Amino acid sequence: MEFERTEFPPRGLSQAEIEPNRNLCSACRHLIEAVIFEEFENKNLWESTTESWTKHFFKGHYGRLSLIRRSAQLCDMCDLIVDHWPSAGSEENGVDPKNDSEYWILAQPILSGDPPGTKSFLLTTNLDDDDEEEQRFELFHKQSPEISDATNVDENEIEDSSFVRVFGSRRYRRMRRETSAYSGSDECFALATKWMAECNSTHETCASKEDSFVPKRLLDVGAGASKESIPLYESHTIREPYVALSYCWGGRVSLRTTTFNRASHLQEIPLYNMPNTFRDAITIVRKLSFRYLWIDALCIIQDSEEDWQKEAAVMDRVYANAALTISCADSANSWSGIFVQRKRQRSIPLHLPAYSDLRLQDLHVSVLEDSKDVYSDLEESVVNGRAWTLQERLMSRANLHFMNEALIWECRTHTRTEDGHSSSSPIF
């Protein structure tokens, strides 16, 4: 099958004119624009229609290993492709330098299970169903794209990653945003604070409390609590909002309130004695400017059958009246902790011009290894598979799910994800 190939240097340009300061060769820039604006009919593509979907193969790239290797000396994106394509690597890595096979780029891989807002392309050395070698690459934003040209736009749709803007004759579908490298970062807390403020100020359904219920015991992690220890507070007179923790015990929890230590816990509970999940939850509560936290292992007297019966009878009210529920979605036990370092693939910035009011200066490209939707991750998470924690999720007014790959805000009005997707569907 014959394709038009981009020469190196591209036709009409010298090497010095490939704009190395802007880090993309013309072949890669044309490909990126095709993916961004979905203008496949204008970007020199070949179509192959199967029974279920149409493949758009980009014809304007180099098409041979020898050419993309040469371009990789100047073009960061070609270098990224070569770096993650085994047969295009270096002789030092065991690659045959005489290998000059052809490759194709699938510019519109519409694959089931892709997260909303995914824009990617597939590089393959075989057009058959059984690909000999392939690698997917994704375009994403380091931050939310700045879009100020809002013509005939419903403000409620701006966060929707499936929303399409029109810039003159060009259509732009919002891309995913990169998540933070650490789930306990300042960026994560700033985003959670934004979601919470939006919910409190604009969601009538979420603002309505079930009743004036307050748990019998709460942990005082704010004012009056030192960094090294916190007291257990026992009273029905507290009128400040509180946060509830939803987590999996995963066996016996090492620190619990019992009839033996109840008096000492009312004085102080040293943080160094607490499981990692409890300590991380205290950090979250303080970062979000709350004072009180409810954790079942510490706020219910664990060896008292009478206390257990009383508190279990009002468990639904504990979560329904909490200002927020912290969900340790991927923590298998109390010692796993909540915060995780997330793996990051090598990515490169794409120095592109501004298209109308569409700012693309923070656009990056990286290898796409896992295209699973974060919503699917949540449904398959540890807490969603346990009856107790699933009930806690459904009873809560708002859940802040700390997952290994992303944060998810879930309230009675809508959901928000750290990678920029949103849905107007409530949790009920």
pLDDT digits (tens, 9 = 90+) for 76-107: 888 888 888 766 555 444 445 566 777 777 76
Domain that holds residue 312: 186-341+374-423
Q: Which of 96, 91, 107, 11 is nearest to 57 (CA)?
A: 107
Does residue 144 sit in the same domain as residue 258? no
Note the pLDDT of residue 146: 38
Does residue 230 sit in the same domain as residue 335? yes
Structural contact between residues 238 and 292, judged by C-beta atoms closer than 8 angstroms = yes
For the record, the structure tokens of 175 come out as 């891309």
Helix/strand/coil for 75: coil
**How long, in residues, is the chain?**
428
Does residue 166 sit in the same domain as residue 194? no
Does residue 301 sit in the same domain as residue 209? yes
Q: Is the residue at 401 inside a domain?
A: yes
Q: Is the residue at 6 inside a domain?
A: no
Does residue 116 sit in the same domain as residue 159? yes
Q: Is the residue at 241 inside a domain?
A: yes
> Scanning the structure block, which residue is given the tokens 């509560």?
285
- Residues 6 or more apart whose CB falls under 8 angstroms from that of 192 comprise 288, 400, 407, 409
372-413: per-residue pLDDT in tens? 567 677 777 777 767 777 888 889 999 999 988 889 999 988
Structural contact between residues 71 and 25, judged by C-beta atoms closer than 8 angstroms = yes
- Residues 6 or more apart whose CB falls under 8 angstroms from that of 345 comprise 366, 367, 369
Does residue 406 sit in the same domain as residue 358? no
Q: Which of 304, 306, 297 is nearest to 265 (CA)?
A: 297
Does residue 170 sit in the same domain as residue 220? no
Q: What share of the chain is helix, strand, coil (3-state, %, to 5)?
A: 30, 20, 50
Does residue 363 sit in the same domain as residue 378? no
Structural contact between residues 245 and 294, judged by C-beta atoms closer than 8 angstroms = yes
- Please give the model's pTM, rounded to 2 decimal places: 0.77
Q: Bridge partners of 266? A: none
Q: How far out from the chain centre does Cα 137 lie?
A: 17
Does residue 284 sit in the same domain as residue 382? yes
Structural contact between residues 334 and 254, judged by C-beta atoms closer than 8 angstroms = yes
Does residue 323 sit in the same domain as residue 362? no
- Residues 6 or more apart whose CB falls under 8 angstroms from that of 14 comprise none
Q: Is the residue at 84 inside a domain?
A: yes
Structural contact between residues 365 and 347, judged by C-beta atoms closer than 8 angstroms = yes
Does residue 252 sit in the same domain as residue 167? no
Structural contact between residues 91 and 97, judged by C-beta atoms closer than 8 angstroms = yes
- Residues 6 or more apart whose CB falls under 8 angstroms from that of 2 comprise none
> Scanning the structure block, which residue is given the tokens 């993916």?
35
pLDDT tens, N- to C-terminus, the chain (428 residues): 343 444 434 443 333 333 433 578 888 888 887 777 766 554 444 445 444 445 556 666 787 888 888 888 889 888 888 888 766 555 444 445 566 777 777 765 444 455 666 777 777 776 555 556 777 788 877 765 433 333 333 444 444 444 444 444 555 556 677 888 899 999 999 999 999 999 999 988 887 665 778 999 999 998 656 678 999 999 777 788 999 999 988 878 889 999 999 999 999 999 999 999 999 999 999 999 999 999 999 999 999 999 999 999 999 999 999 999 999 988 888 899 999 998 877 787 877 765 544 555 567 888 876 655 676 777 777 777 677 778 888 899 999 999 888 899 999 888 888 887 777 665 55
Number of domains in the chain: 2
Q: What is the 3-state secondary structure (H, E, C) of 357-389?
A: CECCCCEEEEECCCCCCHHHHHHCCCHHHCHHH
Burial class (CB in 10 A: 0-12, 13-18, 19+), 47: exposed
Structural contact between residues 27 and 11, judged by C-beta atoms closer than 8 angstroms = no
96: number of Cβ within 10 Å: 10
Q: Which of 230, 243, 209 is nearest to 338 (CA)?
A: 243
Does residue 310 sit in the same domain as residue 219? yes
Q: Is the residue at 10 inside a domain?
A: no
Q: What is the CA radius of gyration of the chain?
A: 26
